[in-house]
């Protein structure tokens, strides 16, 4: 049985970014100590459940928000509670998301000391104007210093996030971003195209005509350039938006994509036990109230239908460049993949969007650009 993943949501931010649709709260850093205590209570409650007690966790991921707003001592408290309450493999991957504007070399060294062994640095851009557009609190210089400082602190596994297809972004400027990224030689690069999420400040700005998004063709050109450029510089694409030097693929993310169980802790965090998906309240005050009263902050959940499970296995498998394991699909769902999707697979293969190799079904070069449309056809 594959090991499980543990996700811990830290919702605090100094400032909310233009494009972000994750649950975050800004300007309430004074509640961080209460939140750390609440997380320890939730850990203790979940550890009483037989399912999570039986799991062996192989990864921990502090996401947000801005987890690096927590002090190393506060993160150490949370980690100590996790290790005291759950079973872990001998070498778990422990990732901390960081904002370059919230860390210094002393903090980085202390994060390393308490057991964090992978940093995910939210660079997003090395261009000053683009950072201002995105409402990021750091400068290009701080972004570069964060990566250099992480190496100095002893981190051997460093990832950076970048966003492309920003309004008014040119191919030349995006190339300069990628060039600066590879010159820093991170082990992993996540390159996301800008997504306009409903209800975000970015969405409102576009609706009011204050910002104009790039065309689909411009987005596609940037994405194709990204894949080629990073491949030329030693980064293997293993998922739609993720590229890694050999051996540095994000173990935590792969847990999501291969159908492993994952436990989410904190306000708005989602969990999956292989049968049921459930999630916590996306409200800091309510989360603190519930946990302080000795209750879980679970808001709701759903039992997945057989068809939902098949679709999610397909969707997450196709996002990976290795493709979808057809034998594993048949073993898990007791039917051939083609029968589960009523001939749509053959249509997609005929259209040149899917291809097979060694019992794996994957997106073709053309299919990669149309992943969302392909998955919509599979979902029916």
Q: Which of 220, 239, 257 is the last residue of a domain?
A: 257
Please report the pLDDT score of residue 372 as a whole number. 87
Give the gyration radius of the chain's Cα atoms. Answer: 21
Residue 264, domain member (yes or no): no
- Where does a domain end: 257, 292, 319? 257
SS3 128: helix
Q: Are residues 323 and 247 in the same domain?
A: no
Least confident of 55-59, 262-266, 344-348: 344-348
In a domain, 272, yes or no: no
pLDDT score for 248? 98
232 lies in the same domain as 333: no
Q: Does the pLDDT at position 262 exceed 90?
A: yes
Q: Which of 202-211, 317-326, 369-378 has the lowest mean pLDDT?
A: 202-211
Domain with residue 356: its CATH number is 1.10.10.920
Which pLDDT score, from 0 to 100, does residue 313 have?
93
- Domain match, 332 and 183 both: no
**One domain, residues 104 and 224:** yes
One domain, residues 71 and 205: yes
195: confidence class by pLDDT, cuts 50, 70, 90:
confident
Q: Are 180 and 145 in contact (CB under 8 A)?
A: no
Verify that 237 and 320 share a domain, yes or no.
Answer: no
* Domain presence at residue 262: no
Q: Is residue 287 part of a domain?
A: no
Residue 325, pLDDT above cutoff 70: yes
Top-confidence residue, 54 or 212: 54
Does a structural domain hold residue 278? no
Note whether residue 20 is domain-resident: yes
Distances (CA, A) of 292 to 31, 48, 204, 285: 13, 17, 36, 11
Whether residues 134 and 236 fall in one domain:
yes
Are both 221 and 321 inside the same structural domain? no
Please check whether residues 246 and 371 belong to one and the same domain. Answer: no
Across residues 110-128, what is the average pLDDT?
97
**Is pLDDT above 70 for 177?**
yes
Q: What percent of the chain has pLDDT over 90?
A: 83
Residue 152 belongs to what domain range? 4-257
DSSP 53-101: HH-EEEEEEEEES-GGGS-HHHHHHHHHHHHHHSEEEEEEEEEEEE-GG
* Residue 323 domain-assigned (yes or no): yes
Binning pLDDT at 50, 70 and 90, where does residue 19 land?
A: confident
Q: Are residues 87 and 170 in the same domain?
A: yes
If one counts the domains in the chain, the total is 2
According to DSSP, residue 20 is labeled -
Instruction: Kindly state whether residues 249 and 315 are assigned to the same domain.
Output: no
CA distance 259 to 125: 32
pLDDT band, residue 1 (cuts 50/70/90): low
Mean pLDDT, rounded, for 162-188:
96
Q: Which of 257, 272, 289 is the last residue of a domain?
A: 257
Which of 30-34, 59-63, 201-205 has the least mean pLDDT? Answer: 201-205
What is the bridge-based pairing of β-strands 262-265 and 242-244? Answer: unpaired
Q: pTM of the prediction?
A: 0.95
Q: List, for residues 27-48, the tens digit of each pLDDT value.
A: 899 999 999 999 999 999 999 9
Q: Any idea what the CATH number is for the domain that residue 240 is in? A: 3.20.20.70
Q: Is residue 292 part of a domain?
A: no
- The DSSP element (H or E) to which 324 belongs, if any, is strand 324-325
Note the pLDDT tens digit of each residue in 76-91: 999 999 999 999 999 9
Q: Are residues 96 and 207 in the same domain?
A: yes
């Amino acid at each position: 049985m594959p090991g499980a993943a543990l996700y811990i949501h830290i919702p605090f931010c100094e400032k909310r970014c233009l494009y972000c649709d994750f649950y975050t709260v800004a300007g309430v850093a004074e509640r961080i100590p209460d939140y750390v205590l609440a997380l320890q209570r939730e850990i203790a409650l979940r550890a009483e459940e037989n399912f999570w007690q039986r799991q062996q966790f192989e990864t921990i991921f502090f996401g947000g928000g801005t987890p690096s707003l927590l002090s190393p001592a506060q993160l150490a408290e949370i980690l100590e509670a996790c290790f005291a309450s759950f079973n872990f493999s001998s070498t778990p991957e422990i990732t901390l998301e960081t904002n370059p504007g919230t860390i210094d070399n002393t903090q980085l060294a202390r994060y390393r000391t308490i057991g964090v062994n992978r940093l995910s640095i939210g660079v997003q851009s090395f261009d000053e104007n683009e950072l201002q557009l995105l409402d990021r609190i750091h400068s290009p210089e701080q972004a570069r210093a964060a990566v250099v400082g992480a190496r100095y602190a002893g981190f051997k596994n460093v990832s950076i996030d970048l966003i492309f297809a920003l309004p008014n972004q040119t191919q030349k400027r995006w190339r300069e971003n990628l060039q600066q990224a590879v010159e820093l030689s991170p082990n992993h690069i996540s390159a996301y195209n800008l997504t306009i999420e409903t209800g975000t400040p970015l969405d409102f700005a576009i609706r009011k005509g204050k910002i104009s998004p790039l065309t689909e063709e411009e987005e596609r050109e940037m994405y194709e350039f990204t894949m080629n450029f990073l491949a030329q510089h030693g980064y293997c694409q293993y998922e739609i938006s993720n590229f890694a030097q050999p051996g540095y693929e994000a173990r935590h993310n792969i847990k999501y994509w291969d159908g492993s169980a994952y436990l989410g802790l904190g306000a708005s965090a989602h969990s999956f036990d292989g049968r049921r998906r459930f999630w916590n309240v996306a409200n800091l005050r309510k989360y603190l109230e519930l946990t302080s009263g000795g209750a879980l902050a679970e808001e709701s959940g759903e039992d997945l239908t057989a068809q939902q499970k098949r679709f999610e296995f397909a969707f997450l498998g196709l996002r990976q460049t290795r493709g979808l394991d057809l034998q594993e699909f048949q073993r898990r769902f007791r039917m051939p993949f083609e029968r589960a999707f009523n001939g749509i697979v053959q249509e997609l293969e005929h259209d040149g969007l899917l291809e097979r190799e060694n019992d794996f079904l994957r997106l073709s070069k053309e299919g990669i650009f149309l992943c969302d449309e392909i998955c919509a056809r599979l979902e029916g």
